[in-house]
Structure 1
Amino acid sequence: MDNIFPKKESKDWTLIIKPKTSWFDIQFSDIWRYRDLLMLFVRRDFVSAYKQTILGPLWYVIQPMLTTIMFIVVFDRVAEIPTDGAPPALFYLSGLVIWNYFSTCLTKTSVTFSANSGIFGKVYFPRLIMPISNIISALIGFGIQLLLLFVLLIYFYFFVGVQISLNIYILFLPFLLLLVASLGLGFGILISSLTTKYRDLANLIGFGTQLLMYATPVIYPLSFFEGKYKSLIMINPLTPIIEMFRYSILGVGEFQISSILYSVFFTMVSLFLGILIFNKIEKSFMDVV
């Protein structure tokens, strides 16, 4: 009988997909296992961003340059808002470099579920790969704009005679970048999770991001305010990050270790909550999207 009905050989499965049962059932090891797919998404995001455009990646340079020129005209020449003695072009661009990276991370990750519902419903992969790929692909634009900033620094130093105060705090740039990326990821996936049920929140993303920029010291120094207004701006976790970045390359700005620790704490909490809610929503979002 054994020859007629051979026993079925057991198989060692390489991947077993099971429903998630708790808030903390997060398989971070799957993200590393799917790292090749992560890099494919990063490449896709970069290629598709300026595909079929005339200037292509040059928009990474044109956009901050035009914005900086507008800021110089409106806020420096007309409103006469001080820049703590730094050249206005360098002051505004140094704030825009950090802000643009954060806003890109936030806006891209905030539409993770709605923009990728098609692929999410067809094939399995760790859903966190999608927002993480947005964070990594946004690094390309950040790198180009940071290079533009350093080119202007060199120009102002050699051709204008402006003293550039690069200091040891520039070594903390990777740390600041990690903070910005984590903050954008945390808020982005939190908003993305909420918009699966509350669609009208998606309409507030662009408007809210613009308002948040004016609550961040991008176009003005922190020293421009005093009292309660300064305290309100310090609530923004991006404020110490931008001020520290400016100080590291221009020698202007004010920050304290306590304010940086506040940004770290705020970022960790938002990222933790964002991942928890994202992990809880991802198993049922196809029913409501």
Structure 2
Amino acid sequence: MTQEKEHWDVVIGPGGRLIGVDLKSLWSYRDLVWMFFKRDFVTFYKQTVLGPLWYLIQPSLTALTYYVVFGRIANLSTSGLPPYLFYMSGIVLWTYFATCLANNSEVFSKNASLFGKVYFPRLVVPIAVAMSGLVAFGIQFCLLLVIMVGFIFAGSGITWPGPFILLVPLLILYVAVLGIGMGLIVSALTVRYRDLIIATGFLTQLWMYASPVVYPFQQIPEKYQWVFYLNPMAAPIETLRMALFGSAGVPYSLWLSNVAVAAVLFFVGLVLFSHAESSAMDTV
């Protein structure tokens, strides 16, 4: 008597892809992305007194600190823009990138118990993290617009944004992809090297000072500008200021270089993350 062959509805196995990304599978788990998004947003501020008001307090006080330290004491140039607006615009975009990077750097360690019990595409978590950070960015960006309107009516010389403001969604998408890519690299490496969790915050702070957050790209001596061509956060910060305030444009060569670096980092992140997820639960 021959034994009938068992049939399974779903078989989970390696897909044979270089980076192990199954877009169709990710789309089928879109409801899970939404669930993780709500979890991250609710739990982070669940037991706080001020709640989402911290989204407004943090960038406001940080911009004020930069205004005093870099604007008044160090007297750094802001290329003719009001210093507070200059610092605020850099802080808002940089904070979104840093949030994506920091919160994605511990994907395996923070979700070890869940990953060990249930199967779902692991990229669901980094995407949800980027979405939850987008809420904070949206609130802070609205605050920036309100402050900008105040400066316009105060006669500071700032004009209303032109058509370049339509570039803002593309800048957000670019920063989200970059933040996810860098977060995937760090999360994959921290599976074996836990010291990176501690070093990530410090290195991110150094990265910020190597970006045009507190000083404009145009003020950098030409012999040092190559650093900004390797820094994928240089072009989006300067482009945001151009879109909002009509400041000096960004060289096309800077954008091409930044996009190339960001694409490489995102691809490397996908590869490392894909290889790490197969053994992460045995190591974390």
| TM-score, structure 1 as length reference | 0.93
1:110-131 CA distance string (max 9 Å, x none) = 1111111111111111111011
- Residue 157 of structure 2 is aligned to residue 157 of structure 1: no
CA distance in 2, matches of 1:138, 1:166: 25
Match of 2:281 among 273, 276, 286: 286
Aligned to 1:61: 56
- The 1:127/1:156 distance shift into structure 2, 3 A limit, reads same
What does 1:100-249 correspond to in 2, within 5 Å? Answer: 100-164=95-159, 166-249=161-244
After TM superposition, where is structure 1 displaced by more than 6 Å over at least 4 residues in a row? 7-10
Q: CA deviation at 1:186?
A: 0.5
Larger deviation: 163-172 or 39-48? 163-172
CA distance in 2, matches of 1:200, 1:122: 26
CA distance in 1, matches of 2:177, 2:50: 30
Which residue identity lines up with residue 62 of structure 2 in the other structure?
Answer: T
Q: CA deviation at 1:161?
A: 4.4
Gaps of 5+ in 2: none
Which residue identity lines up with residue 287 of structure 1 in the other structure?
Answer: D
CA distance in 2, matches of 1:251, 1:99: 19
Q: CA deviation at 1:153?
A: 1.0
Match of 1:35 among 13, 30, 48: 30
1:69-121 CA distance string (max 9 Å, x none) = 10111011111001111111110001111100000000011111111111111
- Residue 77 of structure 2 is aligned to residue 82 of structure 1: yes
Aligned to 1:4: none
Q: CA deviation at 1:10?
A: 6.9
SS at match of 1:113: helix
CA distance in 1, matches of 2:252, 2:259: 11
Aligned to 1:276: 271
Aligned to 2:39: 44
Percent identity over the alignment?
A: 44
Larger deviation: 247-256 or 121-130? 247-256
Q: CA deviation at 1:277?
A: 1.4
Q: CA deviation at 1:234?
A: 3.2
Q: RMSD of aligned C-alpha atoms?
A: 1.9
Larger deviation: 179-188 or 268-277? 268-277
Number of aligned pairs? 284
Gaps of 5+ in 1: 2-6
Larger deviation: 233-242 or 41-50? 233-242
- The 1:262/1:230 distance shift into structure 2, 3 A limit, reads closer
Q: CA deviation at 1:164?
A: 1.9
